[in-house]
Structure 1
Amino acid sequence: MTTNPLLTDWTTPFELPPFDNIKPEHFEEAFETAMAEAKAESDEIAEQSDRPDFGNTIAALEKSGERLTKVARTFFNLTSADTNETLQQIERDIAPKLARHSSDMLLNEKLFERIAELWNQRETLGLNTEDAKVLERYHMMFQRAGAGLDENGKSRIAEISQRLATLGTQFSQNILRDESDYQLVLETEEDRAGLPDFLLTAAAEAARERGHDGKHVITLSRSSIEPFLQFSTNRRLREEAFNAWSARGELEGETNNAKIITETLALRSEKAKLLGFENFAAFKLDDTMAKTPDNVRDLLTKVWEPAAAQARAEEQKLSKMAANDGENHTIEAWDWRFYSEKVRKEEHDLDETELKPYLQLDSMIQAAFDTATRLFGVTFRELDDIPVYHPDVRVFEVLDPSGQHVGLFLGDYFARPSKRSGAWMSGFRSQHKLNGNVAPIIVNVMNFSKGAPGEATLLTFDDARTLFHEFGHGLHGLLSDVTYPMISGTSVARDFVELPSQLYEHWLSEPEVLSKFATHYKTGEKMPTDLLDKLLAAANFNQGFATVEYTASALIDLELHLLDSPDEIDIAAYEKAELGKIGMPDAITMRHRIPHFQHVFSGDGYSAGYYSYMWSEVMDADAFGAFKEAGDIFDKETADRLLTHIYSAGGRPDPEETYKAFRGRAPKIDALLKKRGFAA
């Protein structure tokens, strides 16, 4: 028998997963073995005769299940970023098994009794701040999993968890299938009319990867579909492409997500009521900064009203532009980006084709790295000959100011059919100090359209912003400096986790950064000052549209999880009715329509929590003001406070208190409204 590489000690550089030896068939055995080990370890903690103390219970739990964590992180990073039919089948099989394994531990009565005893004695245990926070998180985690219920309640909540795991997996796989199955092949000059060279180059590469050499293909990756909608003068094809993008998850057939969504909502509602909450939104928000659905709705409504008014004014400009072009049709969703580009050109003398040559991927990566160096002193050294899960993945060693190893950063930047859409940060290993200093291994995954072989990959400004956003998450994981995995890196309140990422975006828009790194991919010349000025002057262009499409999604997410009988709704009819209630402009769709809302239905990470981006934006808009007030966007004293209280602190401090420690006061919503152009 061959040795399973997932079950051996990893002797790869920096103990990366041995990707070059791992095969899909290794995972089933690895999961079974690792789950058995983890169960034995937690059972031993629960059954020990010694009275509970922090070390033999909480710290012991933090040390348990290490192999399972390694196997699971490797597997789920692959199923997100480079999956195949075999991995997807394993994922469908393993999801409910992992949920059952988790429930077995979290509903272990003896284990919970030990944790509860420590919780009740917490004031007398002499715990430091970090120990106290970890104990609090364990006690809350067990309670919220149902550990305090009777046997019938425990049994039912375990069943719910297993079923939700299956549903979330199927939801994600359905979306990936709809996305990978669709391709718009551009055959004629009429099909390609209006498309700039950068998009044609990317579309030719997409065609080559999909077996259509010599043609052009538009995919449902945002980096492909959005510029197509922006530039194509072929309205018929814009409509076709947009409808395909919009219809993911609601096509007729086995990838239709409607039943998955209603069952998911019903099970979440039942779970919340079992745990004593009125609805799932109340349950989910109880463990956030927002605390209640009313607080979330209040924030979103304050932003929605000025945003919707601005969006309607923007639509009038688009209609006027269309009329000037001799087009008398109503502005539809597939027209918005096309006419917006024309209006931006008219109002700001700026279009994407001017910008993209200056926004090459390699330069934007260096801009993100250089910003981190100037703020926090860390540097990045690219490594070759490191095993990776796909040839496109790049590996960088992160070093502290003294040249010591901090962690590894992996960059996976290009779209491909085996990768789910969107952009995200994840980790193959979290930082902690339980067994010596364990360094993090962090990955950023994007879906940029790849340049032709030997050619630079060019980004839109939104692409570049996404890169900075995800790298902000990456730094949150890389710079973590805590003892326990439970509170490492991004393990913070859901509506706090977007603060480091959204805050990091601000540096991209600063002339000091752009003037250095926005260089022409052929000539190396810096972006002309007048073009840079026009880019910054247009920062809030189309902001009504952008805010409306996001806020509508956040409001619908909240309302879905307030429903008392969600299994009785018709998803399409519900979406239309709710958007009508809030006055959604007809020409704008939700950024994530319900049938493909992966933030909410691929798992429950952002369920009843999509508002989190805006909650964090109140903080990030206000937080960047600290650097502006210091008169230097790289002010050392301010950056040191940012590192101490935000980027390195993980989940150790209370989020409100740590924000105040950095900023000196609570955040103000005025900064968000001003940032988005809704206030003077």
Structure 2
Amino acid sequence: MRMQLLATVALGSMLAACTTTDGGVTSENVAAARPAIPAGTGYFAQDSTLPFHAPDFTQVKETDYLPAFAQGMAIQSAEVAAIAGNPEPPTFENTIVALERSGRMLGRVQTMFFALTGAHTNDALDAIDAEISPKLTAHYDAINLNPQLFARVKAVYDNRAAMSMTPEDAALLEKTYDDMVHAGALLGETQQAEVKAINARLSEATTAFGQRLTDATNENALVVADHAKLAGLTPAEIEAAAKEATERGLAGQYVVTLQNTTQQPALASLQDRATREALFEKSWNRAVRGGTNDTGSLIAEIINLRARKAALFGEPDWASYTMYDRMAKDPKTAVDFMRAMIPALGATQRREAALLNQAIKAEGKNFTVKPWDWQMYAEKVRKERYDFDAESVRPYFQLRPVLEDGVFFAMNKLYGLTFKARTDLPVYHPDVWTYTVFDKDGSELGLFYFDPFQRPSKRGGAWMGNFVDQSHLWGTKPVIYNVLNIPKAPEGEVQLVSWDNVETIFHEFGHALHGFFADQRYVTMSGTNVARDFVEYPSQVHEMWAAEPEVLANYAKHYQTGAALDPATIEKLNAASKFNQGYEFGETFEAALLDMQWHALSPEEAATIRTTADVNAREAEWLAALGLEVENVPPRYRTSYFRHIFSSPAGYSAGYYSYLWTEMLDRDSRQWFRDNGGLTRANGEHFRKTVLSRGGTQDYFEMFRAFAGRDPRVEPMLEARGLGGGGTEAEAADAADETG
């Protein structure tokens, strides 16, 4: 009866697309109706023959990509045409699963290509990126807006109540339908044509933004002629700056490169105030100087295009349009969540600024704190108040032990994982390390690639990605990479890292675990293919194990003496971590609200943004209205270099709040771990079962409840940030009084 109903519904909706004979649908005429699927050629035509189908970088030249993209798109187009034109009644298997099976060659090309453009790009790859991105956008639009295909998907979707499906099947069906509707499948032809045109231009503009920003970041490195101006940096940092200058043809000088954030690491230690100010100015204004690397006109265009696209779907703004599949569901939920924290955050910023001004005055200096002073004096106050100097722990953190004796050790304790380094696999850069990951039963779980060092060919930040996704449909196991931007030690010197780097290494491997523990049939639902405001949650939770005493004792050993780091030092670090939250939390908070402001503009409001000057003026207006100390605590990303939200057609747009939202989930989960015994296999197995292995197959609130036994609470996050009841105006006034 169920299949009969499905066939009736399907045939009613697909009559115009079906070709039958008087004898009805037969296997012979079905086969005849299906178009031939072209065969691929070259390296990407089949899975790699390396272990786990890992990419073989030795077999691919830059000139191979464009032909492979063309073939991959042609093959998937034929596969989709066969699905759409299938004269058989639409079923879950011949429509939804068939779609899931399509595009294998194209997926292999994209996976390798976009991994390289992020981690080790060059002019040739950038040119290919600029050419292929709009073509890919048009290709996927053609699939999502194919009326025959959507009719089949809708027929299956409308009959879902009568079907027997697994929870993952149901989730895939719902996602396939919702994504096609969100792409415009229910719009009229004229509206669909406009969506396609907007998508094509968005692809071009966001790709250009990313490339301009990379160039602007490299171009605006600070050049210093006088060695004395670098006082406060370590000898290794000065040597690295000299080497960078030599490589740029500036022998005898020093080049301090920029990282992607507003604050730069060197600002915490540079003694010369003018040098600090110059470095901050280079960072803050990197992409607003006019010329070929100014991003303002692209931002204006992207904002306008997004607002226009949202309007085509009947939505008031881009945020409302794009948040359809988020855990938070709508902009109001996300904004209300953030705005509730402004009073405590503002008070904390004012209190901390007063303390920093007090420290400046105590040194006999005649100035008040500015953004380029903040980190230096925050460290001085932190050291005085908590007897803790962040630089004092660096000698205990060697990069390889942090990964192998820290991260891998913790993962063994929690999940029973083991790791084996290997040198037989080709990599895209000599600095990449590779490991086989073994599960608790000794079976091979997947491959892990670790790319730690900063270089000009790599975009800023840290991230995780898959070379191969886990899928029971394809019988594939995950091949996962972590990319970071740690300044590389000079040749022959021990590679030490900061505590911030340590936490980032644990964080990114949390993303990797989300991929390794995937247990899905379909790639679309597998691993980290989850909502934007959920994906950072597992990674943030895993930062907690960096400071776990048992883990710390295994990896934090002085590189010269071998002495273990005193656990009391980490206790001091944890206590000290609540200081300077006015800045550290504030800069991310401000960026998140800035993102939401840009994407809450109506088409009419967006139309008033045309130039870099317009962008800067609107940004300044919004920041001033927050009631926070933005003059001293600027956002982590200025609009002009906010790569997260402007360097891909969607990216983190109207989604940067996710870092705060998932921190709420994270801090509450850390409390659960502490309440239930901490670093135990039982706890690891529970987290793996309820969260890490679930992919995108379940409602996210239900997933959290399955883990924690209740809804998430914001209080642990506020407490961890030092905002839980301590940040009062009275305390800020007391601190101000202390400055005289």
- TM-score per shorter chain, which class? over 0.9
Change (3 A) 1:8 1:491: closer
Structure 2 unpaired stretches of 5+: 1-40, 726-740
Q: 2:668 aligns with which of 622, 642, 649?
A: 622
Residues 352-373 of structure 1, C-alpha deviations (whole Å, 9 max, x = no match): 3211111221122121111111
Aligned to 2:659: 613
Q: 1:432 aligns with which of 471, 474, 490?
A: 471
Q: Does 1:112 align with 2:158?
A: no
Aligned to 1:419: 458
Q: Does 1:660 align with 2:705?
A: yes
Aligned to 1:389: 428
Q: Does 1:568 align with 2:568?
A: no
Change (3 A) 1:528 1:242: same
Per the TM alignment, residue 665 of structure 1 is displaced from its structure 2 partner at its CA by: 0.5
Per the TM alignment, residue 463 of structure 1 is displaced from its structure 2 partner at its CA by: 1.4
Per the TM alignment, residue 511 of structure 1 is displaced from its structure 2 partner at its CA by: 2.4
More deviation in 94-103 or 473-482?
A: 473-482
| 3-state SS of paired residue (1:444) | strand
Q: How does 1:577-656 map to 2 (within 5 A)?
A: 577-585=621-629, 586-603=631-648, 604-630=650-676, 632-656=677-701
Is the contact made by 2:592 and 2:657 (CA closer than 8 Å) also made in structure 1?
yes
Is the contact made by 2:342 and 2:628 (CA closer than 8 Å) also made in structure 1?
no
More deviation in 289-298 or 197-206?
A: 197-206
Q: How does 1:255-404 map to 2 (within 5 A)?
A: 255-366=293-404, 367-404=406-443
Aligned to 2:287: 249
Change (3 A) 1:384 1:227: same
Q: Does 1:410 align with 2:449?
A: yes
C-alpha separation between the residues in 2 aligned to 1:529 and 1:77? 38
Aligned to 1:496: 534
Aligned to 1:518: 556
Residues 91-148 of structure 1, C-alpha deviations (whole Å, 9 max, x = no match): 0000100000000000000110011011110011101101000000000010000011
C-alpha separation between the residues in 1 aligned to 2:261 and 2:432? 18
C-alpha separation between the residues in 1 aligned to 2:567 and 2:525? 44
Is the contact made by 2:432 and 2:451 (CA closer than 8 Å) also made in structure 1?
yes
Change (3 A) 1:587 1:226: same
C-alpha separation between the residues in 2 aligned to 1:134 and 1:282? 23
| 3-state SS of paired residue (1:582) | coil
Is the contact made by 2:664 and 2:714 (CA closer than 8 Å) also made in structure 1?
yes
More deviation in 322-331 or 145-154?
A: 322-331
C-alpha separation between the residues in 1 aligned to 2:256 and 2:47? 43
C-alpha separation between the residues in 2 aligned to 1:215 and 1:413? 26
Q: What is the aligned residue count?
A: 676
| 3-state SS of paired residue (2:140) | helix
Aligned to 1:22: 60
Name the aligned partner's letter for residue 605 of structure 1: G
Q: How does 1:139-150 map to 2 (within 5 A)?
A: 139-150=177-188
Name the aligned partner's letter for residue 424 of structure 1: W
Name the aligned partner's letter for residue 659 of structure 1: F
Per the TM alignment, residue 553 of structure 1 is displaced from its structure 2 partner at its CA by: 0.6
Name the aligned partner's letter for residue 384 of structure 1: T
Per the TM alignment, residue 69 of structure 1 is displaced from its structure 2 partner at its CA by: 0.5
| 3-state SS of paired residue (2:341) | helix
Change (3 A) 1:229 1:341: same
Residues 350-393 of structure 1, C-alpha deviations (whole Å, 9 max, x = no match): 22321111122112212111111111111111110311111111
Larger Rg: 2
Name the aligned partner's letter for residue 387 of structure 1: P
Per the TM alignment, residue 9 of structure 1 is displaced from its structure 2 partner at its CA by: 4.8
C-alpha separation between the residues in 2 aligned to 1:282 and 1:532? 43
Is the contact made by 1:369 and 1:380 (CA closer than 8 Å) also made in structure 2?
yes
Residues 553-591 of structure 1, C-alpha deviations (whole Å, 9 max, x = no match): 111111111111213121100111101100231111100
Is the contact made by 1:499 and 1:619 (CA closer than 8 Å) also made in structure 2?
yes
Structure 1 unpaired stretches of 5+: none
Q: 1:42 aligns with which of 80, 84, 103?
A: 80
Aligned to 2:25: none
Is the contact made by 1:223 and 1:447 (CA closer than 8 Å) also made in structure 2?
no
Is the contact made by 1:375 and 1:636 (CA closer than 8 Å) also made in structure 2?
yes
Change (3 A) 1:229 1:656: same
Is the contact made by 1:224 and 1:449 (CA closer than 8 Å) also made in structure 2?
no
Q: How does 1:162-173 map to 2 (within 5 A)?
A: 162-173=200-211
Change (3 A) 1:162 1:224: closer
C-alpha separation between the residues in 1 aligned to 2:262 and 2:498? 11
Aligned to 2:106: 68
Q: 2:718 aligns with which of 650, 673, 679?
A: 673
| 3-state SS of paired residue (2:459) | coil
C-alpha separation between the residues in 2 aligned to 1:26 and 1:522? 48
C-alpha separation between the residues in 2 aligned to 1:224 and 1:446? 17
Per the TM alignment, residue 215 of structure 1 is displaced from its structure 2 partner at its CA by: 5.5
Is the contact made by 1:449 and 1:457 (CA closer than 8 Å) also made in structure 2?
no
Per the TM alignment, residue 227 of structure 1 is displaced from its structure 2 partner at its CA by: 3.0
Compute the TM-score of the two structures, normalised by the length of structure 1. 0.97
| 3-state SS of paired residue (1:452) | coil
Per the TM alignment, residue 214 of structure 1 is displaced from its structure 2 partner at its CA by: 6.8
Is the contact made by 1:219 and 1:225 (CA closer than 8 Å) also made in structure 2?
no
Per the TM alignment, residue 29 of structure 1 is displaced from its structure 2 partner at its CA by: 0.5
Aligned to 1:533: 571
| 3-state SS of paired residue (1:286) | helix
Change (3 A) 1:368 1:476: same
